[in-house]
Amino acid sequence: MQGKVYITGLGIISAIGNTVDESFQSLLASKTGVGKITILKTALSETHPGAEVKKTNEELRAMSGLPQDKYFSRTTLLGMIAARQAVLSAKIENIKELRTGFISATSVGGMDRTEVFYEEFSKDNTRGHLRDVITHDCGESTEAIALQLGIKDYVDTISTACSSSANAIMLGAKLIKQGKLDRVIAGGTDALSRFTLNGFNSLMILDKQPCQPFDENRRGLNMGEGAGFIVLESEKNPGIDNKEIFGELTGYANTNDAYHQTASSPDAKGAIMAMTQAMQMAKLSPDQIDYINAHGTGTPNNDLTEETAFNTIFGEHIPPFSSTKGYTGHTLAAAGGIEAVFSLLALKHGLIFPNLRYETMMKEFHFSPVTELKRQVQLKNVISNSFGFGGNNSSLLFSKA
């Protein structure tokens, strides 16, 4: 696989902003999006905070540019908004001028509508709208977004839990390097739903307070929603020299330790392999990593595993790291796409975003995440981690172009 892959466009919508610039300003101001759940109707809103996009589906539809006479899930609406931003950011005027792919990740799919149908239908089998069922499939949101963008060359859906959109970005880079596509819009989208909220609550890993990633007294995660997409382009594309380059994807790796259905392996084998293999692909040594955007969910298991991996790989020279889930909550399949955007913003502007609400060092280690915004940092290489259920671990390595 030959040639460089550049990132030429960014798009995002999350609890801290409806655009890249709004999100960036929230990061600079340490403004969290975690708070009371008000859009989604759930009993857990009284006991558990979340990170919602504070727009109704009708408002999202107006923002998305999707046809008003058609029906879409919230997952699709969020994804459409972020994907269109990425295309506009890359200044793509004719999507068909190059072989273009669209790879989107999701865990929830159209579940936010299916659960509404089920509630009505279970009470009376003559009630409920079938339109709430046909959007359920994960691939439905991908197909709808690709159709709206006019992409037909290659369309694919990835669903590997929390590593999904990192894997979508990885697949896009591989297809470009193999010469099968010239550019790819890749990332992920997920909406809050009662099913996923209750599912994580049944695992007893939802925090009743705003989460504290990597803190000794961490209690769990906050669920979030949103979408993040980036535009990947071959260095061989016409006009690439005249485009704004946010960074180069120099390394990536996906591993699967299959230790447990929902927990990370305590020895961090999968996480270690993912980061190490990404560095090997980029031909970088551990001391050349300048910042890690950690997966950092705030759960006891995940954070212990990830810091174990840092300790094993970097020893006494652990690079600055932080989790941005204190801002956006855990956006499931969208996390890798959203945090890829954050990592590229950090790289472009020489910034390290703080790990919100960190207070006490974990007793197992003698290092801590960054807790204050760092400016004018010389960043050349940034790792973004996304670790999912089943031990599906992915690391992306972005470098200064």
- Give the Cα separation of 200 and 318 in Å (integer): 31
The question of whether 129 is a catalytic residue gets the answer no
Contact 337, 105 (CB under 8 A): yes
- Give the Cα separation of 87 and 184 in Å (integer): 10
Per annotation, catalytic residue among 48, 138, 211, 330: 330
Tokens of 264: 């990370």
The question of whether 162 is a catalytic residue gets the answer yes
Tokens of 338: 């959203």
Q: Which amino acid is at 83?
A: A
- Give the Cα separation of 66 and 43 in Å (integer): 31
CA-wise closest residue to 265 among 394, 368, 389 = 389
Per annotation, catalytic residue among 48, 138, 211, 295: 295
Q: For residue 241, what are the contacts with CB-CB under 8 A and spacing of at least 6? A: none
* Element housing 98 (H / E): none
- Give the Cα separation of 2 and 182 in Å (integer): 13
CA-wise closest residue to 354 among 368, 374, 379 = 374
Q: Indicate the length of the chain as a whole number.
A: 401
Classify residue 131 by its DSSP letter: G
Residue 281 burial (CB count, 10 A): 16
CA-wise closest residue to 34 among 226, 170, 179 = 226
Give, in order, the Cα–Cα distances in Å from 280 to each of 36, 248, 284, 290, 397. 43, 15, 6, 16, 10
Q: For residue 202, what are the contacts with CB-CB under 8 A and spacing of at least 6? A: none
The question of whether 366 is a catalytic residue gets the answer no
Per annotation, catalytic residue among 48, 138, 162, 211: 162
Residue 364 burial (CB count, 10 A): 10
DSSP-assigned beta bridge partners for residue 154: 101
Angle at 250 between CA 168 and CA 338, to 5 degrees: 40
Residue 99 burial (CB count, 10 A): 16
- Give the Cα separation of 261 and 62 in Å (integer): 39
Q: What amino acid positions are annotated as catalytic residues?
A: 162, 295, 330
